[in-house]
């Protein structure tokens, strides 16, 4: 049986002539196989959702990656061609879930677009097309039809000593995959940098003084759950935090 229920905010996608509220299966599988929890996909509603009603009923929040980007108006910048594509409904529900989960101490794991939403939700900003910035490596998804190649482990990060992530993975070097064009620019006041890539790109953060597990990573640990130690440890730690909450639920929000 599953040891807790975890909300995953959906993306808006269109195919087969319909509009769908969708979450990629690799996050569903990683939640089940890596964290031992049951995921629950939350619809993406541009007018907003009652996120406290959701959070009263779950034990954790998992924010997935996506090819779309947070709209720059959320961090005070004008939209340009390089900022798209967008998913305003995902922006709205995901960032409201993030803020309230942190306030209520509900375990939060934010991946790729998720760490970017976490940073923006708490007052930070993003840089776009970072591969064009001086000194940056190319963090984009490799152009290949092969999913394993696209998600291949391909650059190192340095995990800060004494960080939350170091308590999960140990400090020092780790190897991760990379499929992103944007990254944290101005880090939110309540976030601590936990790991950086060799070019200085922020690769992991934690929420300062968070009452619960609250970590964001720029890479994709969900993809290699079951065959990669870093991926397995991250999802196991998230699952442990969710299990603990499931056993000792806090009072519902007033």
Ligand X SMILES: N[C@@H](CCC(=O)NCCCC(=O)O)C(=O)O
Residues of span 150-179 touching ligand X by CB under 6 A: 179
| Out of 34, 60, 65, 239, the residue judged to bind ligand X by CB under 6 A | 65
| Out of 2, 67, 160, 186, the residue judged to bind ligand X by CB under 6 A | 67
| Out of 113, 190, 243, 246, the residue judged to bind ligand X by CB under 6 A | 113
Residue 145, judged by CB atoms within 10 A of its CB (0-12, 13-18, 19+), counts as: exposed
Cis preceding linkage at 85, omega within 30: yes
**Closer by beta carbon to ligand X, 5 or else 179:** 179
Is residue 243 helix, strand or coil?
A: helix
**Closer by beta carbon to ligand X, 182 or else 206:** 182
**Closer by beta carbon to ligand X, 223 or else 238:** 223
**Chain centroid, CA 52 distance in Å:** 19
CA distances to 46, 141, 152 from 155, in Å: 36, 12, 9
From the list 50-58, 102-110, 157-165, 180-188, the region that binds ligand X by CB under 6 A is 180-188
Q: Is 112 assigned a catalytic role?
A: yes
Whole-number Å distance between alpha carbons of 206 and 237: 14
State the minimum distance, in angstroms, from the CB of residue 172 to ligand X. Answer: 25
Q: Which of 112, 117, 194, 246 is catalytic?
A: 112
Number of residues in the chain: 254
- Per rule CB under 6 A, is residue 66 in the interface with ligand X? yes
| Out of 12, 58, 93, 112, the residue judged to bind ligand X by CB under 6 A | 112
Q: Which of 38, 35, 33, 46 is nearest to 8 (CA)?
A: 38
Mark 214-233 as b/e (b = at least 16 C-beta within 10 Å). Answer: bbbbbbbbbbbbeebebbbb
Contact, 111 vs 63, CB < 8 A?
yes
State the minimum distance, in angstroms, from the CB of residue 85 to ligand X. Answer: 8
Residue nearest to ligand X (CB): 65
DSSP state of 34: I
**Closer by beta carbon to ligand X, 50 or else 138:** 138
Q: Is 220 assigned a catalytic role?
A: yes
Q: Is 180 assigned a catalytic role?
A: no
Do β-strands 108-111 and 214-217 pair in parallel, antiparallel, or remain unpaired? parallel
List contacts with ligand X (CB under 6 A). Answer: 65-69, 112-113, 141, 179-182
Residues taking part in catalysis: 112, 220, 222
């Amino acid at each position: 049986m599953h040891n807790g229920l975890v909300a995953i905010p959906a993306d808006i996608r269109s195919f087969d002539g319909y509009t769908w509220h969708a979450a990629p299966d690799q996050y569903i599988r990683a939640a089940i196989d890596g964290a031992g929890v049951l995921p629950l996909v939350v619809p993406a509603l541009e007018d907003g959702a009652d996120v406290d009603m959701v959070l009263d009923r779950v034990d954790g929040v998992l924010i997935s990656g996506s090819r779309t980007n947070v709209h720059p108006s959320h961090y005070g910048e004008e939209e340009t061609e390089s900022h798209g594509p967008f998913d305003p409904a995902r922006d709205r529900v995901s960032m409201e879930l993030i803020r309230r989960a942190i306030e209520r101490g509900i375990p939060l794991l934010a991946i790729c677009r998720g760490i970017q939403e976490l940073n923006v939700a708490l007052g930070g900003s993003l840089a776009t097309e970072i591969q064009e910035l001086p000194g940056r490596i190319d963090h984009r998804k490799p152009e290949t039809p092969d999913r394993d190649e696209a998600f291949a482990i391909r650059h190192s990060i340095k995990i800060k000593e004494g960080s939350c992530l170091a308590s999960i993975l140990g400090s020092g070097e780790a190897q991760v995959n990379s499929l992103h064009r944007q990254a944290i620019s101005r880090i939110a006041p309540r976030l601590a940098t936990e790991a950086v890539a060799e070019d200085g790109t922020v690769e992991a953060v934690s929420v300062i003084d968070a009452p619960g597990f609250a970590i964001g990573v720029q890479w994709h640990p969900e993809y290699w759950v079951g065959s990669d130690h870093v991926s397995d440890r991250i999802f196991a730690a998230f699952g442990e935090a969710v299990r603990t909450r499931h056993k000792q639920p806090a009072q519902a929000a007033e």
